[in-house]
Amino acid sequence: MAEFTLDLNDDQKQVRDWIHGFAADVIRPAAAEWDEREETPWPVIQEAAKVGIYSLDFYAQQYFDPTGLGIPMAMEELFWGDAGIALSIVGTGLAAVGVLANGTEEQIGTWIPQMYGDANDVKVAAFCSSEPDAGSDVAALRTRAVYDEAKDEWVLNGTKTWATNGGIASVHVVVACVDPSLGSKGHASFIVPPSTPGLSQGQKFKKHGIRASHTAEVVLEDVRVPGSCLLGGKEKLDERLARARERAANGGGERVKNAAMATFEASRPAVGAMAVGTARAAYEVALDYARTREQFGRPIIDNQGIAFQLADMRTQIDAARLLVWRASWMAVSGKPFTAAEGSMSKLYASEVAKKVTAQAVQILGGNGFTREYPVERMHRDAAIYTIFEGTSEIQRLVIARTLSGMPIR
């Protein structure tokens, strides 16, 4: 187990500087264009693949960093460049985490490489959990998976929404209900391979922010997948369902994690790191502007009202990063989140990103309200952090229930 430290080692610093250079030289110059186009920035993803940032090997190296800081460090730098483009680059990771959290070694080795493709033919993947009537309430999922024993196939029907890369993905990971009587304990995750009949893209959403990231509905109509596409395998699922039924019959007892929750728990500190990156980017623009913008014969940073805002912004960003790093280190060290530290990191960093980007707009004044300066875009992008992968309200609920000892459903 790695000791907790605030000092990055030489290898980590080298990787951080490499990612930062890509974000500064490739992502930022393209940010405004792809925000306006509201399209997946395939050329930028391909450039990321060429240099090795968009690849299974890169994410595996960061994921298995013994300090736990590889992923949050990478997320912060990429999202410092631009949130929309960065999400297009890292969005596949949520599907990959879904397979890592629930799949067998064979499934991990088979499907994750297909999610990324290669530098000459990049692919993306999608994790499909939310539904029109089931967002925060994952127990309300209606997408059904029914086992056809004669053909050893699962038949999926339903509609997913808010799916990053939904419909354009090569591989979709779909959370579906296999036993409605068990609520969220009756869920399982399935791989839908490329070009599977019955899967189609529904509505593509035109969004307030992160416009360069594709978000859409995914419609499943009698989608048949082989039995081997059930993540974890049927034997493991049957055992889990049997335990859940026994506990339900006995009036409850120890709770069982469902597939979607396992994925979100693993990814929340990473989302916090994304928020830190966006907040830091807006803070740096505001700081530079305050140093050079003059009013009444002096830089506006000489005014206490501006200086104190910048002081608070920097303090909150650093505090958010510390929460993210703590949760990431705890996760890799096998320490339990006894106070929902993962949710804490995501909650605080998300709220900081919204606040800091709003303050940056205010510091720039009228200029901050225009698209001539990037803080306008950063402020729009920051709004998503308090919504996706568990709203701030849900994070507070998770934290409160953890502290009280109540079950988290």
Question: Would you say 34 and 211 are in contact if contact means Cβ atoms under 8 Å apart?
Answer: yes
- Locate 226 and state its tokens: 């082989």
Q: What is the dihedral of CA 396, 186, 200, 152, to 10 degrees?
A: 150
Question: Would you say 117 and 128 are in contact if contact means Cβ atoms under 8 Å apart?
Answer: no
- Pairing mode, strands 121-122 and 125-128: unpaired
Cβ partners under 8 Å of residue 245, min gap 6: 179, 182
- Locate 365 and state its tokens: 């004044």
Helices 392-404, 341-364: inter-axial angle, 10-degree rounding = 150
Asked whether the CA dihedral 325, 270, 122, 43 is positive or negative, the reply is: negative
Question: Which positions are catalytic?
Answer: 389
Distances (CA, A) of 119 to 18, 53, 116, 321, 380: 18, 10, 9, 32, 31
Segments in 126-258 forming alpha helices (H): 234-249
